[in-house]
Amino acid sequence: MALVVQKYGGTSMGTIERIRNVARRVAKTYDAGNDLVVVVSAMAGETNKLVALANEICEFPDSREFDVLVASGEQVSIALLAMCLKSMGYKAKSYHGWQVPIVTDNVYSKARIIEISDKKMRGDLNDGAIVVVAGFQGMEGEGSITTLGRGGSDTSAVALAAALKADVCEIYTDVDGVYTTDPNICADARKIDKISYEEMLELASLGAKVLQIRSVEFAKKFNVDIHVRSSFNDNPGTMVTKEDKDMESVLVSGIAHDRNEAKIAVMHVPDKPGIAAKILSALSDANISVDMIVQNVSESGLTDFTFTVTKADFKKALALIRETAKVINARDVAADENISKVSIVGVGMRSHAGVATKMFETLAREGINIQMISTSEIKISVVIDAKYTELAVRVLHEAFGMSAKDVFAE
């Protein structure tokens, strides 16, 4: 008998009929002899509806009250699912975050979990009940409701699995698992059977939206195996787990793309120490995060300093940088919103040379100019003209043999 944590997202809980479907899945797992904790999100669309109400009331809703408001969506879901299970003859009990309790810090709307007590849940599990927990919710030390940020139910599920030392954490979603790349762009995209926490973290931060990043960090920290799978069929999904030998033999596990950034270049800056800090502090003072940063090799005492920010921050960043450019005597500021970041990810890169070369050659062959490059141990990102995004993803997917059944390194 195993202890299983299952999480069902908003789409899986989107209608009464789908909630019934979730209940049948839960029942099946329970009937197979497992102890079961089920984490659910708000019905699809509900959270957006609540956010809209808040924005109608005032421009800047108070953060504590905002969390009280949006947490109500999950309350509806736990009640409906527990009700459904009980009507099917199963013992079931719903828990709000505060009832578990899931204790967090008091950073509303992106609270971090501090502690989870498993005592009450254990009692109900030992009693043969299916425990249904509201995802996304926590409670800070004074007893106010907090929420964990968009996608926070993933983190709730993984954290509960860690607290309960569950055998597996199953994250049910509307796709079959984690794909080598976006199937909407590349028809050959293949579901990945097994992927390491590190790769998943890179893919998640690069724009693949299957799991909330924080849930993967949590899983890595507490060694929780995550099984990402579809709630609409019985296909095995993707196992997110500790890195193993098999994974290292795969050169590239996934290709991500992100159209949500824009590029700003400060041209012909006097190449003196402290210039980079001056440019970046103007942005960080305004709470703008910078993603990629490239500084060209200096030439006759002048250098170009280029970076990317999210499109949402672009206008504000550009205005600030134009001010800063004057102060530091830069000749010009160039900006481009029509860019896209394409990245390849794989732990296999660590032990294989030539991956970058192959990536750049592949893009060059198609006439795709690389504007910026950024690398980590297991990732290479390039910034290219946005119009080449799909093409770049497809040719890289093919070049690294990712659609083939066996994707071992050459």
**How many amino acids of this chain bind its own copies (CB under 8 A)?**
38
| Shortest distance (Å) from residue 264 CB to its own copies | 33
133 binds its own copies, rule: CB under 8 A: no
Regarding 322 and contact with its own copies (CB under 8 A), the answer is: no
Residue type, 109: S
Q: Is the peptide bond before 101 cis (omega within 30 degrees of 0)?
A: yes
**Residue whose token pair is 């809980």:** 13
**What is the DSSP annotation of 184-226?**
TT-TT--B-SEEEHHHHHHHHHTT--SS-HHHHHHHHHHT--E
Contact pick of 3, 21, 51, 72 for its own copies (by CB under 8 A): 72
- What minimum distance in Å lies between the beta carbon of 99 and its own copies? 6
* Spatial CA neighbour of 181 closest among 326, 408, 398: 398
Kindly write out the interface string for residues 197-236 of this chain, putting x where it contacts its own copies by CB under 8 A and - elsewhere: ----------------------------------------
Closest separation in Å from C-beta 100 to its own copies: 10
Written as six digits, the tokens of 16 are: 């009464």
- Half-sphere exposure at residue 225, Cβ-oriented, CA atoms within 13 angstroms: 14
Among 38, 80, 247, 396, binds its own copies (CB under 8 A): 80
DSSP assignment of 89-150: T--EEEE-GGGTTEEE-S-TTS--EEEE--HHHHHHHHTTPEEEEESSEEEETTS-EEE--T
Task: Give 5 or 19: the residue with its C-beta nearer to its own copies.
Answer: 19
Q: Does 86 bind its own copies (CB under 8 A)?
A: yes
For residue 180, what are its two tokens? Answer: 């080598």
For its own copies, which stretch binds (CB under 8 A), given 77-85, 154-162, 180-188, 316-324? 77-85
Q: Which two tokens stand for residue 187?
A: 């028809």
Q: Which CB atom, from 31 or from 59, has the smaller least distance to its own copies?
A: 59
Q: Which of 79, 302, 333, 335 binds its own copies (CB under 8 A)?
A: 79
Least CB distance to its own copies at residue 161 (A):
23
Chain-centre distance of CA 312, in angstroms?
18
Is 143 a binding residue for its own copies by CB under 8 A? The answer is: yes
39-68 residues near its own copies, rule: CB under 8 A: 50, 53-54, 56-62, 64-66, 68
3-class state of residue 53 by DSSP: helix
**Residue from the set 4, 27, 39, 71 that interacts with its own copies by CB under 8 A:** 71
Residues numbered 91-120 forming contacts with its own copies, rule: CB under 8 A: 93-94, 96, 98-99
Rg of the chain over all Cα atoms, to the nearest angstrom:
24
Q: How far is the CB of 164 from its own copies (least distance, A)?
A: 19
Minimum CB distance to its own copies smaller for 21 or for 403: 21
- Sheet holding 372-376: strands in order across? 254-258, 339-345, 379-385, 372-376
State which residue, 129 or 347, has the beta carbon closest to its own copies.
Answer: 129
Token pair in block for residue 401: 């043999």
Binding site for its own copies (CB under 8 A): 16, 19-20, 50, 53-54, 56-62, 64-66, 68-69, 71-72, 75-76, 78-80, 82-84, 86-87, 93-94, 96, 98-99, 143-145
